[in-house]
């Protein structure tokens, strides 16, 4: 088989066919700053920096996507929450937007066109699309309406609302759903080919499945139906095996697997209804040797690669700043060595 472009490789796998090799998504967000000699805050100050950083990372590690993600707190930044920058990790959300749960009723959702922090992301997506001419998938990111409140309220307040104030929850979900849909479709219009729909609170690792089904599932299903492009239901390290049947009832195209789960078991549960993304342990990568990286890649592609519908990636959706370049290089080499079809 001829060497496929990343877009062809990913598309073939998602159709349930075996391409030339297993596609892999190296979701580096911070390493581009180091490559350009910029601080993390400087790096995210302009979309063109992220474009250049992403292109350099792909040239070095030969992975199959470009990642338009800046940092999760960019969404609450649009709602008026300050961002806390650090020198060796992703920017985080500052004090929650809501101090008293009753204040939820006074919230107004931001408009995408009026938020400079979001416009920088759209600029980056436009730039990535223009530079790749459709040969490399460009990935955008949105936070699920059900998981965004962790940053809007703080986790403890959010749990109180989930359990005891369903009236306030309904109001917040309606605001967040409209915001998520507008933000998702703006990214698709700017050049994203697909989205990572981050929803870790949906996982049984975070709340009981019965509580999720009673509170967030219909919001997620409705939101995904309004997004005008393919989306991966991303649980950001949390377990997803017990949620596969529920995710399959939405319009999500992929689901993620935690590093705490067996890839083969999750793929079997998907049963051809969903493709699978995962599940290299992003936190443990900080301590991997190149030999360990090769072994983890080999194990993942053997378990989930046969038959397609699998994209190799980390389990969290972001490679930590502390992961050495030698480990990333070993992962790239291991994909070439062990990810070629047919897989034995």
Tell me the pLDDT band of 344, cut-offs 50, 70 and 90: confident
The 10 Å CB-count burial string (b at 16+, else e) for 243-277 is bbebbbebbbbbbbbbbebebbebbebbeeebbbb
The pLDDT of residue 252 = 98
Task: Determine contact, residues 283/316, Cβ cutoff 8 Å.
Answer: yes
Tens of pLDDT along 41-73?
A: 999 999 999 999 999 999 999 999 999 999 999
Rounded CA separation 276/313 (Å): 10
The pLDDT of residue 133 = 86
Tens of pLDDT along 96-141?
A: 999 999 999 999 999 999 999 999 999 999 999 999 989 999 999 9
Nearest C-alpha neighbor of 162 from the set 226, 231, 217: 217
Question: Cα angle vertex 72, ends 68, 73, to 5°?
Answer: 125
Going from the C-alpha of 14 to that of each of 270, 273, 305, 336, the distances in angstroms are: 13, 10, 12, 19
Distance of CA 281 to the CA centre of its chain: 14
Helical pair 166-190 and 116-132, crossing angle rounded to 10 deg: 40
Mean pLDDT to the nearest integer, 280-292: 97
Tens of pLDDT along 311-341?
A: 999 999 999 999 999 999 999 999 999 999 9
Considering the entire predicted model, what is its pTM? 0.97
Fold exhibited by the domain 6-337: TIM Barrel (3.20.20)
Q: Does residue 52 sit in helix, strand or coil?
A: helix
Domain ranges, ordered by start, for the chain: 6-337
Q: Does residue 170 sit in helix, strand or coil?
A: helix
Tens of pLDDT along 208-239?
A: 999 999 999 999 999 999 999 999 999 999 99
DSSP element (H, E) containing 182? helix 166-190
């Amino acid at each position: 088989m001829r060497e496929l472009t990343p877009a062809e490789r990913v598309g073939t796998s998602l159709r349930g066919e075996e391409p030339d090799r297993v596609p892999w998504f190296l979701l580096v967000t911070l390493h581009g700053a180091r490559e350009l000699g910029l601080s993390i805050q400087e790096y995210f100050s302009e979309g063109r920096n992220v474009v250049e950083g992403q292109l350099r990372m792909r040239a070095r590690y030969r992975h199959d996507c470009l990642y338009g993600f800046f940092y999760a707190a960019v969404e609450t930044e649009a709602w008026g929450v300050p961002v806390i920058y650090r020198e060796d990790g992703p920017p985080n959300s500052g004090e929650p937007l809501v101090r008293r749960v009753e204040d939820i009723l006074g919230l107004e959702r931001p408009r995408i066109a009026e938020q400079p922090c979001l416009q920088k992301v759209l600029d980056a997506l436009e730039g990535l699309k223009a530079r790749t001419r459709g040969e490399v998938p460009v990935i955008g990111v949105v936070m699920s309406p059900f998981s965004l409140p962790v940053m809007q309220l703080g986790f403890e307040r959010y749990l109180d609302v989930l359990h005891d104030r369903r009236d306030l929850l309904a109001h917040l979900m309606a605001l967040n759903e409209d915001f998520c849909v507008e933000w998702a479709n703006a990214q698709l219009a700017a050049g994203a080919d697909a989205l990572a729909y981050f929803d870790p609170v949906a996982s049984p690792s975070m709340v009981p499945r019965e509580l999720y089904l009673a509170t967030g599932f219909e919001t997620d299903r409705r939101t995904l139906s309004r997004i005008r492009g393919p989306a991966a239901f991303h649980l950001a390290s949390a377990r997803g095996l017990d949620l596969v049947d529920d995710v399959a009832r939405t319009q999500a195209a992929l689901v993620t697997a935690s590093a705490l789960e067996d890839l083969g078991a999750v793929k079997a549960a998907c049963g051809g209804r969903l493709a699978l993304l995962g599940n290299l342990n992003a936190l443990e990568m900080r301590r991997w040797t190149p030999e360990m990286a090769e072994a983890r890649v080999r194990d993942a592609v053997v378990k989930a690669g046969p038959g397609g519908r699998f994209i190799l990636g980390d389990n969290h959706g972001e490679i930590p700043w502390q992961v050495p370049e030698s480990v990333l290089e070993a992962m790239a080499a291991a994909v070439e060595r062990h990810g070629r079809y047919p897989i034995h």
